[in-house]
Homo-oligomer: A and B are copies of this chain.
Amino acid sequence: MQADPLKKHISQQFDTELEDIRNRVLAMGGLVEKNVGEAILALVDGDAKLGEVAAHSDYQVNRMEIAIDEECAHILARRQPTAIDLRLVMAVIKTIADLERVGDKAEKIARVAVEMASQDRPGAFKELRYMGDLARGALHKALDAFARMDVDAAMDVVRGDDLIDEAYKGLTRQLITYMMEDPRNIRRGIDVLWCARALERVGDHSKNISEYVVYLVCGKDVRHTTPDEAQEEIRSNLR
Contacts and interface: CB of A to CB of B under 8 A. Distances in A.
Could you say how many copies of this chain the assembly holds? 2
Interface in A171-230: 172, 176, 179-180, 183, 186-187, 190, 193, 221, 223-224
A26 interface: no
A6 interface: no
A183 B179 contact: yes
Range class of the A interface residue count: 20 to 34
A62 B190 contact: no
Chain A facing B: main interface SS = helix
A237 interface: no
Contacts of A172: 190
A28 interface: no
A169 interface: no
Q: Which 6 A-B pairs have the closest CB atoms?
A: A80-B80, A62-B224, A180-B183, A77-B82, A179-B186, A66-B221
30 contacts: A62-B223, A66-B221, A66-B224, A69-B90, A69-B221, A70-B221, A73-B86, A73-B87, A73-B90, A76-B76, A76-B81, A76-B86, A77-B82, A77-B83, A77-B86, A80-B80, A90-B93, A93-B94, A94-B97, A97-B97, A172-B190, A176-B186, A176-B187, A176-B190, A179-B179, A180-B183, A180-B186, A183-B183, A190-B190, A190-B193
